[in-house]
Chains A and B, each alone.
Chain A
Amino acid sequence: MKFTLPIILVAVTAGLMTLALFGAGHSSGTVGIAAGSAVFSTKASTPEQGLNNLLADVQRRNWDRAYSALSTTSAGDRQSFIQDWTGSDGSLRSFSSLEGFQARPLHATNDDAQMRVRLHWTTPVGPIEDVRDFHLIREGGTWKVAWPKMQISSVPAQIIPVTYLRWDLVSGSGSDEWGSKNVDAPHVRIISMNAVDSAEGAVVMGEVVNEDTIPAFVNVNAALVDGAGKAIDDESSFDKIDHVLLPKQVTPYRIDFPNINLKNVKNVRMDVKATLVPASADPVIGVMNQKVVSDVQGKSILQGDLMNESGQTVNIPHVIASFYDNNGKVIWVSDGYVNRALLPQSGQPFAVEIPKSLAGKVQSFHVVVNQYSLVRS
């Protein structure tokens, strides 16, 4: 008994640990910014394991281990490898963490393999999915990723003249006499509205214009009302709108009502709120080479290039696109965030998805670019 029981307990403990590692009851991921290394990790005896080990190290930001596990045929240095994963210039990628991934082989031989990975990123603005192909090579019985050379955009030194234009808001310090401080709110107008059912629920969308001569801070709210006049739900355009509109600027908006079917809705109450805000007319971002195409996964997308025509860095560009049918009616509004920063006088590609059911009806589109700049913030 003196030795038997301890041996049994230790053996059961070891068995349970093995089960947790390889089988039943495998625990979920940990909280927080991953740190530390695994006490136990598997050998990269297959392309999947090689890729999994690399991506697990990337998740943990264990760069030394990740970089040392790359194939000797890899191009680029350690710094560019890290920068590829962590981003730079305050871009969205630099705020992001790799939360998960799903890999599938495209083709494999005894010595090399091509894997396609769906990377799930967690970002400040929501989850973002990225599809990326990896080339793996077997070296000495171990599968390693051959890292391609990354093109890191660089901007030559230059001076860009800027005609500084911004609006400041002065609340006034005079007497509080009635009527002495009246400044009207900006005049904005909903120029189109359309309500449709989607896979996730009801969607109300359209466009708003600032008809005034001053910038407006705009928010669009909508309430769905049933046959009895009772409000079913109320939601706002949240980040699917460009909130700061310069004079005569038009923005699409989209309001999602998850899990609601329009057949239960009798009426939609729209409410657009506009307030005075300080604003700047810069930066100017052009949207070049826009066209609707199919991507590698067969999805319809609107793609193009954003061009920063100003002298300041745009850290996180946000593209909002409205799509019209042949009657000029807004039939969908899509948005997407761009991972890389827009450096002065340089461009970045973007793509936003069009639902399959609507792709054939799209006759035209309008793209606006919202942005977050560290300097401005």
Chain B
Amino acid sequence: MERTTVNSVQSYSRPIPLIAIILVALAVHGPLLMMQLPAGSFDANFHMFFASHYAHHWFNPWNEKWFAGFSQTTYPPLTHQWIALLSNVVGLKMGYMLVQLIAVLLLPVGVFRFARIWVEDRAASYAALGSIFLGALAFLVYQAGQLATVASAALYLNALPYFYEWITESSGRSLVKGVAVSLAAAAAHHVTLIFGVVLFAGPVLWVAFFDARDERVSGSSAGVLSRAAVFGVAVAAGVGIVLLPYWLAILQHPIHQIPIPHDSRANFLLNSTTAINYFVIPYGALILALPFIFLRGASSRRLIPLLFGFWLTFIFGLGGTTPLPRWLLGRAYDILTFERFTFWATLMAMPLVGVLAVEILDRFQAKVAVALSLAAVGTIGTALWWLSANPYRPTGSMNVEPVIAFLNRDGHDTYRYVTLGFGSELSKVSTYSSAGSVDGDYNSARLLPEMTHYGSAQLTNAKFYGSAGMASLRAMLEHANRYGLKYIFVHDSYYEPLLTFAGWRKIETFNNGDITAWSKDDVPPAHRIDSDAIPAPWQGLLWGILPMAVSLLAIFLELLLPEGRRAKMPVGVPVRAERAEQHSVA
């Protein structure tokens, strides 16, 4: 008995090996992804649609299947291009799952490496292990389908330790690797990098400055700042070049559309369902740790930057529950969605959660180990249960094969179409049919006035945007002849009165009446809509080469320039508050 206890104490006092953490991540998320659970998420079909275009037209980002033509340079391509590559071997859907799995496996590695900036290895390993079970991660992967956000966050967390090493130790190897991984992160999702600079890199720079000033690292304070500037300039220049077609597109057509409501911008105090969806589910058991995070974060000067970073991200994640995001972001507030901030906040909290785990494990051992395990499993379990309990859940599995078959036969693809009530299945129809639609599932790429002049998103979800959504749909239907919009597929009888009064007639039913096809007789065939947003051929080349190249570069650098030694942790990194204070003073 005594021997067992000793072993237990010893096992709890060591960091969990990283490979074991990765295997746990694989064991937890691997089966879920191989079961293709995220296939029904909000954005999965969107990502597969983009990937499908790259699979067929790698160097031509102009896609005529949505919005009567739009440029895919409006969304960073890395994850889509990787799916496109893999789709040649395993198919589109499994390609998506594999890329998502890679992102999910990279995440605990990133959390571990990021946490080691702040806390010692054991706490960092607990942080990494905990990140596998985050409700926010499950929310983004299985409900929202935000592949790019997860992939980019994972890459970015892996880049930050290089940033820290470079600015504190002037390690050239870290500079090269940090810049390469940062560029890969930007090529996956630009928004993560832009906000990551403030929310993640800011606290890292701040603590590096403390460490230099307190001589816990070799570099001077001025050196830290100047090297941070060098890193920043290198990344900014790199991102400018790698995503040049994106910047050109956004400069040519800044997002001037009327703001589209999104529940993540709502005040969670005014709607319990929204509060559950965007706060309770993503945070899960972390809510119980919030007092500790605040108290421990404030107990050490070295952790204060992390605490501030967490708090600011936490506030942003609350969306419209506080006015701060609107004040700080201005117009961007109405373009962004805020569930990603909650995800980032949980990632930033993990180092402190790791410390909490260390402390209570040291004190209570096995009992707490069980409790922590239950909390972790309960958090991800609740998030997975919420997939079916959520009143805002995605449309689910609808059989759109007959719609795709209809569009691909008898020359129906010479006209454009719209789906109504299809939710994210619109992207699936678009991926596999040869016809074009005036609708689409990516708000920032829309240029047609019938869509941008109203505060609504996809036409297929028009009713969920109230009068604005229906006004947008009406405007589009009024101009059906202009766009060659002949066919409408309805999966929600709500829209049938409008179609009837506007002169469409039901021509076919699919799936025993689950979906109906409507047509208007006097619509001429669709013709190409002139647009000044068509990227030049050289932009297509750049877009097809650089993002993939930086990701390959990052992989090769990781393989060719392995970490020679563990990142040197500053002396006196706090594990317990009182000790930390002592070390700081020392």
Contacts and interface: CB of A to CB of B under 8 A. Distances in A.
Does a CB–CB distance below 8 Å link A and B in the complex?
Answer: yes
Contacts of B496: 124, 372, 377
A88 interface: no
B497 to A, nearest CB: 5
Given A17-B321, A27-B319, A99-B466, A277 B307 contact: no
B494 A126 contact: no
B467 A126 contact: yes
B503 A6 contact: no
Contacts of A30: 261, 263, 266, 271, 274
Contact of B500 (A2, A35, A241, A372): A372
Contacts of B265: 27-28
Nearest to B516: A377
Interface string A171-192: 0000000000000000000000
Contacts of A234: 481-482
Nearest to A37: B272
Interface stretch (B91-99, B161-169, B471-479): B471-479
Nearest to A240: B501
A222 B94 CA distance: 50
A124 B494 contact: yes
A298 interface: no
Contacts of B481: 221, 234, 236
A9 interface: yes
Nearest to B310: A9
Interface residues of B, number: 66
Interface stretch (B27-35, B77-85, B292-300): B292-300
Given A17-B269, A21-B267, A377-B506, A120 B323 contact: no
Given A27-B267, A219-B503, A221-B481, A126 B298 contact: no
Interface in B281-335: 291, 294-295, 297-299, 301, 304, 307, 311, 315, 318-324, 326-327
B273 A318 contact: no
B412 interface: no
Interface in A201-239: 217, 219, 221, 234-236, 238-239
Contacts of A16: 315, 322-324
B467 A122 contact: yes
B306 to A, nearest CB: 12
Contacts, number: 183
Given A5-B298, A19-B323, A236-B481, A370 B521 contact: no
A29 B505 CA distance: 34
B124 to A, nearest CB: 23
A273 B481 CA distance: 12
A31 interface: yes
B298 A31 contact: no
Nearest to B273: A36
A14 B205 CA distance: 28
Interface in A103-149: 120, 122-127
Contacts of B275: 36, 39
Interface string B332-369: 00000000000000000000000000000000000000
A37 B275 CA distance: 10
B470 interface: yes
Nearest to B520: A219
Query: Interface majority SS on B: helix, strand, loop or mixed?
Result: helix
A164 interface: no
A207 to B, nearest CB: 17
Contacts of A313: none
A9 B294 contact: yes
Contacts of A10: 294
Nearest to A235: B478
B323 A6 contact: no
Contacts of A243: 501, 503
Given A122-B467, A236-B481, A372-B501, A36 B298 contact: no
A125 B299 contact: no
Given A10-B294, A39-B268, A273-B521, A377 B500 contact: yes
Interface in A23-49: 23-40
A120 to B, nearest CB: 7
A127 B463 CA distance: 11
A260 to B, nearest CB: 14
Contact of A20 (B263, B323, B463, B470): B323
A32 B263 contact: yes
A39 B270 contact: yes
11 contacts: A17-B318, A29-B266, A31-B261, A33-B464, A36-B276, A38-B271, A124-B496, A125-B497, A234-B481, A238-B474, A316-B497
List the 9 closest A-B pairs by CB distance, nearest first: A25-B323, A27-B320, A36-B273, A16-B322, A5-B298, A6-B294, A239-B501, A36-B272, A127-B467
Given A5-B298, A120-B467, A234-B481, 14 more contacts: A9-B294, A9-B311, A17-B269, A25-B323, A26-B267, A26-B323, A28-B261, A36-B274, A122-B463, A126-B467, A126-B474, A127-B471, A236-B481, A238-B502
